[in-house]
Amino acid sequence: MQTMRQKKRKYTASIGGVFVLLAVIGVMTVVVISLQLTNRVLDNSREKKMFEDIIRPVMMFDPAPFESPADIEMNRLLLYSMWSTLTSERAQNYKYNESQELVIPASDLNVAANTLFGPDVVLEHKTFGDYETQYIYDSDMYRVRVTAQLYVYSPEVRSVVKDGDYYRLDVYYIPPGNAWNLTLTGETLSPFMEKHMHYYMLKEKNSYQLVKMQMPEQEPVPEEE
């Protein structure tokens, strides 16, 4: 009889041990899944920030939608390439002339244009801009005054969705702030969204190119009862 009781206790202990083990495994699984989800959220935040930095020189000037970079007007291409250059790390190496103008090689704009839109984009270098902010082209160099109060949008990427070969960004437009301050801080200047658009990025090796921009589909207006 005692032997039977001992066997029963051992059997009960074994079952109890199995349940404890399963409970431990369950807790560990929940912890691992939670950490993975947290990492995904953090990774997605970094991804959004990366895309914001890439598209900022374009979207801050409120571009019109396009189906291909070939549809973008040349002065606009020059403007986007100029500001991609001015917000890049290489901008720290540019010097001022005696007129307090920043001197920028035109070849750097070529690099910026190809990085932004792909190798098929070819810039036609010339002076562009308006009375308040001119980008003066002279002898394969641009001269830019940095004192102008140029007010621009700031991007907020709300979602990134893989769409075939493309990454579709849902981009919210934060109302204008000073572009020169924006290049130094990269911070959102206002919490209010004014509009949003879809930007389509194509991954090429280790970079992403902006290949298309579209207006989001309008939600259907509910019928009156």
Q: What are phi and psi for residue 11, nearest 5 degrees?
A: -65, -45
pLDDT tens sequence across 84-115 = 999 888 888 999 999 889 999 999 999 999 99
pLDDT of the residue at 71: 95
β-strand 102-105 against 141-144: which pairing, if any? antiparallel
Alpha-carbon distances of 96 from 76, 106, 150, rounded to whole Å: 24, 15, 19
Helix (H, G, I), strand (E, B) or coil at 55: helix
Distance CA 223, CA 214 (A): 26
Mean per-residue pLDDT, 192-218: 86
Distance CA 33, CA 37 (A): 6
Counted residue by residue, the chain has a size of 225
Q: Please give the model's pTM, rounded to 2 decimal places.
A: 0.71
Residue 188 has pLDDT above 60, yes or no: no
Neighbour count for residue 106 (Cβ, 10 Å): 19
Residue 192 placed within a domain: yes
Residue 26 placed within a domain: no
Residue 86 placed within a domain: yes
Residue 57 placed within a domain: yes
Residue 105 placed within a domain: yes
The answer to whether 55 touches 48, Cβ cutoff 8 Å, is no
Residue 73 placed within a domain: yes
Residue 186 placed within a domain: yes
Which structural domain range is residue 71 located in? 47-214
Residue 9 placed within a domain: no
pLDDT tens sequence across 18-75 = 555 555 555 555 444 444 443 443 358 889 999 999 999 999 899 999 999 999 999 9
How many folded domains does the chain comprise? 1
